[in-house]
Chain A
């Protein structure tokens, strides 16, 4: 907080320092004596495995958590930040890992209300003009007059970053800002932010799992492991292998399993499926889509081109206007009994929202598929101990970091929610697996592990439909690649002969 009589901070980018930051949740130490300096105008990357304490550190900096011990220094001066409002006043801003936009407000309303000087009466005509002027200086665009709830994950993520830039922050924290952006989109966004750093307008602390982004945009890097600062350095002097070694310590990640076997009979077939898109204005139109047993079909595409709607059609969240979805030759309505007998499993995007009950415990969430079955029949009374035992072994097998099995799942770090849902969905007999951005926000060791599990499911004869905004992931995992653009399947190619440039062309809608 500013003290009267004290000199104000100089204009432009701020230098920010944490000194001995420590955070305990009960007996668990999430952050242990971490000191980091982000120089004025520098772009600092923060690396670490899932659950390393990265989000905890930056939330302490923003006053969202109150650190157990430690200090914040701004421009070499100690500051007390009691809540995010204090941080905002000082010019600090953050893009959170989970989206924090207000769903029912439009993008424009979200931007205007988050300003600290929102006028008591809002002259929308003037604000719209100012927003348009602001947007025209940006290298990317987001529809401003739609409620945020209708935006796709990638658009929300861009809007979160736009918001912070709109607010004129002088120190910006980005918590995995590109997790659902395509590499091109990420470059656009981060390149712009990098430019602002070079102009001396902001300093940036970015959490990421993508080494590519670290090398391309950051000046300096710090690495956390189990809540401790285990390494620091200038980006120029570090190779990806060295960064990886710092992150995971001694042990190395597993390589993806080799694939085996040829595709079998068709498991999922969608024909002539039409549905409204999320804005209600355009149409999703899937002419025909088949996924066979023992094959991974990857759908590439820029976010907001109908992938979200296709996922919703398959999970039964979005009604069809025409056409049908069949699983193993039977019309499929995505009811729970159907999903159970046909062994259909899902990992939707934003799993905390779409595949979990946030306030229920980790053990309960893991039991969602099985709590009411007893062998082949149904059960009436829950088997509490059985549920816990199963959850316990899955938590261990998928390395879900949680304080206990009874912790509400919403308290887990982003990557660990993902792991818990995958643990549930990949367990047992799986004949059809529909997944969307399965590695959203996972660190690289976890990415390798999850991908190898997906390939293992395929090798065991499951049909896998993979929607991902990460083109590398689609290329690495798929047997066959489809490209979605404007709600349609625009292109199809076997992965073996796939050409990146052609795929990119179709993703951009230039066919």
Chain B
């Protein structure tokens, strides 16, 4: 049966797109929030994302289990984070430069090991049909929500709570805001930053697994269109707040779905301009929320970009 819902198709497609596209943004940005709150920037998460996509896909192909893929992606992500963290703990090393090197290293390594896995097909991650109550196929498709998306929401809430009301959370904020204060407190900033970067790397790895195991759902060298880098901008936009990251990820996801949504209702001209929507959005939002009389509120004091 054909359902014609006219222009309603656009918001529904955007909603569905937001949910589908936002998950990797969410994971990478949560990982970056954790890292940056501890006082370091890891620009290498783009590389971690791509490597996680490859490692997750390869594992799923070999073991036949998508979840095993997610776990391996997380582990490989944490190894990348650990490496970044350890190198940055050496004296006089710049985290941004190392991040760029790690980004190239991660993507290069993923392409090298990933060649044999472009053809085989891996099992998909499960999704929950939250649209069962509706008989509109478009809405049902849109509300087909992947488990990782839900895990991401829980993670965002959990992190917000962690930063507010747990010892670990406060320690990470202390280290991220003032190395001197942390040292006076007897904390070891380098160690804490390294662990935070490793954990953040694991999150980005999971984001990669989502790309290759669910949406778009295959492994190829063009799998990431810069989500790893845009997630860094997203963190600034979200003012280092995990819950705001969730909102921002949805917004970016929705903007990313604008082009395909227009195409799906038969707009044939100019829709490709809307493919640029997330990038325009990034710029617009950053300009709109900037303020001449306040330094970036919420920025951790030890970040090399804000210091």
A residues sitting closer than 8 Å to B (CB atoms) are 64, 83-88, 94, 96, 98, 100-105, 109, 112-114, 118-124, 318-319
Contact = CB atoms under 8 A, between A and B. Distances in A.
Contacts of B288: none
B300 A121 contact: no
B173 A102 contact: yes
B170 A105 contact: yes
B185 A103 contact: no
Contact of B165 (A64, A114, A124): A124
B110 to A, nearest CB: 36
A103 B167 contact: no
Interface of B: 164-168, 170-171, 173-174, 177-178, 180-187, 292-293, 298, 300-301
Contacts of B174: 102, 105, 113
B167 A84 contact: no
Nearest to B297: A104
Given A84-B186, A119-B167, A120-B168, 13 more contacts: A84-B183, A84-B185, A85-B185, A85-B187, A86-B186, A100-B185, A102-B177, A104-B177, A105-B177, A113-B170, A114-B185, A118-B167, A120-B166
Contact of A102 (B181, B292, B298): B181
Contacts of A109: 170, 173
Contacts of A96: 184
Nearest to A87: B186
20 contacts: A83-B186, A84-B184, A84-B185, A85-B187, A94-B184, A96-B184, A101-B181, A102-B178, A103-B301, A104-B173, A104-B177, A104-B298, A104-B301, A105-B170, A118-B167, A119-B167, A122-B170, A123-B165, A124-B164, A319-B293
Label chain A's interface by main secondary structure.
Answer: loop
B293 to A, nearest CB: 5
Nearest to A112: B170
| Ranked 6 nearest A-B pairs via Cβ | A85-B186, A113-B170, A100-B184, A118-B167, A100-B181, A84-B186
Contacts of B184: 64, 84, 94, 96, 100
Nearest to A276: B293
Contacts of A102: 173-174, 177-178, 181-182
Contacts of B292: 319
A113 B292 CA distance: 32
Contact of A121 (B165, B171, B173): B165
A64 B183 contact: yes
A12 B223 CA distance: 65
B173 to A, nearest CB: 6
A396 to B, nearest CB: 30
A180 B298 CA distance: 27
Contacts of A94: 184
B293 A318 contact: yes
A98 B180 contact: yes
Contacts of B183: 64, 84
Contacts of A122: 165-167, 170
Contacts of B186: 83-88
A113 B177 contact: no
Contacts of A104: 173, 177, 298, 300-301
